[in-house]
Amino acid sequence: MSELFNIESITNGYRPIQDGSRYERFFARPEDSDRIIIEDGEVDETVDLMKKVVWKYINDTKQIAIYLKGSTLRQTCENIWNFLYHHVQYKLDKKGLEQLRRPNRSWVERKTGIDCDCFSIFVSSILTNLKIPHRFRITKYNRDVYQHVYVVVPIPGSGKYYTIDCVLSQFNYEKPFKQQKDFDMSLKGIDVAVLSGAADDVLDLVSGFEELEGLDGPDYDRTILEHLIKTRNMIAQNPNLIRNSDYPPAFLKMLDYAIDNWNTPNREKALEILAKNEDALNRLNGFDGADDTEMDGLDDEFGDLDGLSGAEIEQELNGKKRPAKKKGFFKKIGQAVKKVGKAAGQVAKKVGKAVIRFNPLTISARTGFLLAMKLNLKKMASKIKWGYATKEQAAAKGISAQEWEKQKNALAKVEKLFADKLQGKKSALKNAVLKGKAKGLSGLDEETEITGLGVAAAATLAAAVPVITAALKILQDTGVMSKQEAENIESEVTAKTSEAEKLANDPDIKNSGTETTESSSSSSGESSSDSSSDRGGSSGSTGGGIIGFIKKQPLIAIGGAALGVWGLSKLLGGKKSSGQGVSGVSGRKRKKSKTKSKSHSGNSRKKGNRRPKSITLS
């Protein structure tokens, strides 16, 4: 049985630290992905994750390592200890949750404090840059779990070592322990492809919710928290996954706020505040206050593509802002929490399904999957559409009884994937298949070539790649698609979405500034510093200058007022803005269209656009 790692304080903690402004030149500005949140877990997994953080961000300490290098091994180790002990505050992370920070992030948070695991990552990063062999040491004291971690540096040829424990107030001192376990740090690099270790993709994210109806109390509570943490880490590592369903920097801040308050008496209040902010955003985006639990029409937003040519579809996808989506994720989380301890059977299961349905990651995955079906990429929709027909209808079009059975079987499994796993509407899937390029049950079907799609359309598909891959396996297993056809689809979709992600992180776009699409922040009467603060660091925390990116690829944006999270001044930092959102885009009233636009089922809009009262987090 594997042993657990549960960090606890082994010292009084707080100590005066020195001004470190002269060292600022050695560290770059951090991003939202610089912290990985994990629960107390098994020792081997935790240390392996720490190693991955060291190698993924190895350049963070490249400059400071040279500065701290001494003439002897002892002097180098003592320099490292002195630097970190006297310039970075120690603070225990919240009970039950650990935050693994890269060195850049630890330096920025040095005044508020970091835990022993972050100190160890920082020390290991410096030693690794200096190519000095070392080990992570995990220790037990007064409990039967490993409680502390620090770094030891072997002294060549002596069997002894130097201890670098930046939590304790003495260099080369080791607090007597009951038991220890050492892990060598490789100086040759390790695989850092998956950093979070929590969820590989959106299908992994939703796993475990099927058993909610059999859970109650702590197990139910823990399942919901795990979902929040998985969601947070996935988005932090790849903000592009939700660019078409939410504003990544603001949503990450809201997730952090919920997670930070989860194991505290303030949890219910924190979730209520987050839910109120969602309501404010919904009003700002023109949705009424009705509680639409099922959120009809949430995913089926591509009806305007029906009947268009390939060129027209491409223009529509890349040049038109998609409508804002109704928000309610934290409201559903709050409802789920209230069921803890008394959730039973179908009630718990229903709340869990609502949490999944409102999650921006699953919204993006469903939307991308429906778009793939709407466009009939590689004739995916054509491979299942006759499952919607009767045997007689299929026969009239020359479809054999055997082929009809295969498609009906494939369709049932694809529906189960879409509806049961991702909580999508079967009616939305049916519309995408029958009203898209597959041409329903009459006419010659068409397809849209993946290579012809622009990066904005590919970005919509990005979060759906795992779902598309799973659907392809279904089509293969049921015999309606060959293995070669499926492999081609997966490789082309993956290549195209990778192209979209590269563009989102392009240095030219990152450095294009933070101009707004309509007016500069100065026109709102705010100073640039206040505006930057209210944006929550959007240019740095999203993996690219989001406003510059929006100007080149409008579909990547949520569009209009949805970009600004209104009333999150305390959460995001900075002063309150007068109508200006996190992105720096001024709030504005929605113009009435001269022609009637298609309504979205279940999403009734108010004619007016009342500005909500400011809401702050406490």
Cα gap 223→211, rounded to integer Å: 10
In a domain, 137, yes or no: yes
Name which of 110, 124, 126, 145 is nearest 49 in CA terms.
Answer: 124
In a domain, 409, yes or no: yes
pLDDT at 37 over 80: no
What does each C-alpha distance from 206 to 258, 352, 618 come to in angstroms? 19, 10, 30
Average pLDDT value over all residues in the chain: 73
Task: Give me the pLDDT at residue 83, please.
Answer: 96
Cα gap 190→53, rounded to integer Å: 10
Over residues 535-561, mean pLDDT? 31
pLDDT at 310 over 70: no
Sequence-separated (6 or more) residues with CB below 8 Å from residue 604: 287, 288, 290
Task: Give me the pLDDT at residue 463, please.
Answer: 82
Higher-scoring residue by pLDDT: 140, 458: 140
Range with the poorest average pLDDT among 133-137, 352-356, 547-551:
547-551
pLDDT at 505 over 70: no
Task: Give me the pLDDT at residue 171, please.
Answer: 95
Task: Give me the pLDDT at residue 312, please.
Answer: 67
In a domain, 314, yes or no: no
Cα gap 418→412, rounded to integer Å: 10
Name which of 154, 180, 153 is nearest 165 in CA terms.
Answer: 153
pLDDT band at 151 (very low <50, low <70, confident <90, very high): very high
3-state secondary structure of 390: coil
- What percent of the chain clears pLDDT 90, i.e. is strictly above it? 26
Higher-scoring residue by pLDDT: 104, 487: 104
Count helices and strands (H / E) in the chain.
Answer: 24, 8
In a domain, 536, yes or no: no
pLDDT band at 61 (very low <50, low <70, confident <90, very high): very high
pLDDT band at 52 (very low <50, low <70, confident <90, very high): confident
In a domain, 93, yes or no: yes
What does each C-alpha distance from 273 to 270, 337, 356, 360, 618 come to in angstroms? 5, 14, 20, 19, 8
Over residues 27-43, mean pLDDT? 68
Per residue in 355-414, pLDDT (tens digit) is 888 899 999 899 889 988 988 887 889 999 999 999 999 998 889 999 999 999 999 999
Do the Cβ atoms of 133 and 187 come closer than 8 Å? yes
Over residues 594-611, mean pLDDT? 40
Per residue in 228-276, pLDDT (tens digit) is 888 888 888 788 888 878 888 888 889 888 888 887 888 889 999 998 8
- What percent of the chain clears pLDDT 70, i.e. is strictly above it? 62
pLDDT band at 185 (very low <50, low <70, confident <90, very high): very high
Do the Cβ atoms of 257 and 617 come closer than 8 Å? yes
What does each C-alpha distance from 133 to 30, 162, 188 come to in angstroms? 27, 11, 11
Name which of 605, 364, 616 is nearest 497 in CA terms.
Answer: 364
We report the CATH number of the domain holding residue 72 as: 3.10.620
Interaxial angle between packed helices 465-477 and 360-375, expressed in degrees from 0 to 180 and rounded to the nearest 10: 50
Task: Give me the pLDDT at residue 513, please.
Answer: 35
Last residue of a domain, one of 145, 160, 184: 184
Task: Give me the pLDDT at residue 320, please.
Answer: 59
Last residue of a domain, one of 127, 149, 184: 184
How many domains are contained in the chain? 2
Name which of 99, 120, 46 is nearest 229 in CA terms.
Answer: 99
pLDDT at 415 over 80: yes
DSSP single-letter state for residue 613: P
Over residues 419-432, mean pLDDT? 90
In a domain, 586, yes or no: no
Q: Where are the alpha helices (H) located in 294-416, listed in sequence order?
A: 310-319, 329-338, 345-358, 360-375, 391-396, 401-416
**0.75 surpassed by pTM:** no
Last residue of a domain, one of 499, 531, 547: 499
Do the Cβ atoms of 549 and 539 come closer than 8 Å? no
Task: Give me the pLDDT at residue 486, please.
Answer: 76
Do the Cβ atoms of 135 and 165 come closer than 8 Å? no
Task: Give me the pLDDT at residue 215, please.
Answer: 59
Do the Cβ atoms of 461 and 468 come closer than 8 Å? yes
In a domain, 385, yes or no: yes
Higher-scoring residue by pLDDT: 557, 590: 590
In a domain, 337, yes or no: no
Cα gap 363→299, rounded to integer Å: 7
Do the Cβ atoms of 510 and 544 come closer than 8 Å? yes
Cα gap 320→570, rounded to integer Å: 33
Domain membership of residue 380 as a residue range? 365-499
Cα gap 69→26, rounded to integer Å: 14
Range with the poorest average pLDDT among 262-276, 546-560, 591-605:
546-560
Over residues 170-198, mean pLDDT? 79
* Spacing of C-alpha 62 from chain mean position: 28
